[in-house]
Structure 1
């Protein structure tokens, strides 16, 4: 039930007819929020909280404010998704939370309108139809936002999809003339601000409202997506279990040293050279997980008793302090069992544990949300209904940007992309430990420079790192007797990487 944008003209009209004072106040609020937060998305997140928990709003004022917020988020999303070079999991969460808040505010209006059929209540229903239509049109403007809206709807039992289908239904389209008639007779305050009323007054057609259109191209894309995901699933089922005897290991003495360095919410990485998948996944690292922390560490942080830790307490007390996503689904692991590998790394989000408790607990809450999901064999970062090991990190840590690769038209993020971020300029991550094992069950703590070289980076004199890459060009040479020869030459170069 997700559908085609019919007319961009409707959105332009709606914006021109919004009350200037209210709209200006909204965007000033967003601007102020952005100026004190790390990104535009933090501004949207803060703004949504302000609207949701403002008890001074009337039902219609709250509905209008959440509508404006969600429309602005959609406009931001269309531009962001068309030009992004990195991804931010907070955007997906905001789409879900903003629409969920809009639906809750809409239900209050509908509940009020059923008490009677005064001019004010008829006007509220007109507002609901036109605002929902304009939101729908904006999010249907690009395939990327359409896909994300549908995916986020599945996260809340298809709530968004069902709501849109109900409000923009044919029965509501047939109801519009009756609502206009009541509004004309009663003339409630603010009725001239209604877009539907304005169009009716100007004798313009109203067929842009309560209307849904299907996208045939989305059906084709869905078929392609399902096909490639099925192939990937089948391929993973074949190669996933393939492994052979291990040569290098990280011994128990080194494990204690590693464990002593770990702090809650560190991102941990594994490399297993005895698994076939390790050779098929691009990059040095084949898998990542999250260290939840020990009971003692979480007590020291002062958050052990928080409700966000409830889903994890029993697991942590039993030693299962690692949460990860494997091809069979989410799992909890014990450190001494998980560490059976050839190389290990732990990476930390800078300053995360120095933030207020609510920020730290939000990460735990997000991690818990991932725990019930299946593995994403489509490797699509825009799909949150199913996730990979690296997508768990991408979706859980809040307002951080993560580097991506484009595979078959989809943005993907893998363990190697996340680990590479420690070598970026102005990186939000830092390396805590990099350990390699040997055949005698010993281990060696390696420097960041060693890891950089293994991952294709060069250390610079100032302590920064540049990525190695090849720049290739075609060279033509003309010979009088042998004709033209074409040679392909490549030169090794290096560059800084930025988010």
Structure 2
């Protein structure tokens, strides 16, 4: 009986994802996105595209289906020694992109990397920065007690997850912002605290200021990244790959630390900037009208 319920959940999630994907793309590929100038006039004028209106209605329902369905695990979840490696490599406020396991975000965000997170640091690191006391919202207090020190926005809201949830993925790209003073870091933590609990934007619509996607959280906490708005499937949106483009461009704002991929026999390999640059998507030059 349990197996039948799990299979039914997977089927419902799959059907729902196809419906959402089709309506978002309107017979176009969600892998396509464009410079903001390519948006149609009604979107530039601030009017809602019918696809965005639709996903505003059905998106929350569909996201609950995805949350409750049992989906395939990411390959890196079984890589031996990865948890220890990440704990040694990651530093407070590192920005991390992942190519995630199947989820609604696979259909809502174009590009190679599909999910964005921020590593807050270990308990000891945050105490040294005086950051633990800055995370005072109800959304953070209980989670910190359970070593959930990774910020993400996914189905539901902006929240904290632990390392086990984080590595349930296929690829991990660790990027490090330019050096900051303790005061600057504390301001970042305080801003994160303000965002915790904000509803997740299932429409991936940049114009909706009441809800946030994962990459919008990054853009708010790190405005210095100056991420460009793109047009895709009826709305302006932010693309995680643009953050990776910034990191591989040899600038002083953000740099690649490691790109971690799974290799057979429960292992992982570490790659660098050059390998990442070959994976990234680019905006299409012209939109078919």
Q: Provide the TM-score with structure 1 as the length reference.
A: 0.43
Aligned counterparts, 1:26-425, within 5 A: 221=47, 224=50, 225-233=52-60, 236=63, 241=69, 243-244=71-72, 249=77, 251-272=79-100, 274-275=101-102, 277=104, 279-280=106-107, 281-301=109-129, 303-304=130-131, 306=133, 308-311=134-137, 312=140, 315-351=143-179, 354-357=180-183, 359-408=184-233, 410-424=235-249
Assess, with a 3 A threshold, how the Cα gap between structure 1 residues 247 and 439 changes in structure 2: closer, same or farther. Answer: farther
CA distance in 1, matches of 2:231, 2:36: 11
What is aligned with 2:25? none
- Distance change (3 Å), C-alpha of 1:232 and 1:299: closer
Alignment partner of 2:263 out of 422, 430, 438: 438
Structure 2: where are the runs of 5+ without partners? 1-34, 38-42
Contact 1:266-1:348 within 8 A present in 2 as well: yes
Distance 2:237 2:284 in 1: 22
User: Alignment length, in residue pairs?
Assistant: 242
Which structure: larger Rg?
A: 1
Q: Which has the higher helix share?
A: 1
Post-superposition CA distance 1:475-494 (Å, at most 9, x none): xxxxxxxxxxxxxxxxxxxx
How far apart are 1:408 and its partner, in Å?
Answer: 4.7
How much does 1:238 deviate? 5.6
- 1:342 is paired with a residue of what secondary structure? strand
Contact in 2 for aligned 1:242/1:275 (Cα 8 Å): no
C-alpha distance in structure 1 between counterparts of 2:125 and 2:95, whole Å: 16
Structure 1 residue 292: Cα displacement: 1.1
* 3-state SS in 1 of match to 2:91: coil
- The question of whether the paired residues in 2 share the 8 Å contact of 1:270 and 1:344 is answered with yes
The 3-state SS of whatever aligns with 1:288 is strand
* TM norm structure 2: 0.70
What are structure 1's unaligned runs of at least 5 residues? 1-82, 86-142, 145-216, 457-466, 473-499
Q: Secondary structure at the match of 1:376?
A: coil
Shift of 1:356: 4.7
Distance 1:426 1:251 in 2: 32
Alignment partner of 1:255: what SS?
helix
- Once residues 228 and 429 of structure 1 are traced to their aligned partners in structure 2, the CA distance between those partners, rounded to angstroms, is 33
8 Å contact kept, 1:288–1:390? yes
Q: Any idea what the Cα deviations from partners look like across 1:423-463, whole Å, max 9, x if unmatched? A: 3363621112211113422111112211111225xxxxxxx
Residues 250 and 436 in structure 1, CA contact (< 8 A), matched pair in contact too: no
For residues 264 and 324 of structure 1, what CA distance do their matches in structure 2 show?
A: 15
Q: Cα offset for 1:316? A: 2.8
Say whether the 8 Å CA contact 1:294–1:316 is kept in structure 2. Answer: no
Aligned residue for 1:375, secondary structure, equals: coil
CA contact (8 A) 1:229 1:377 kept: yes
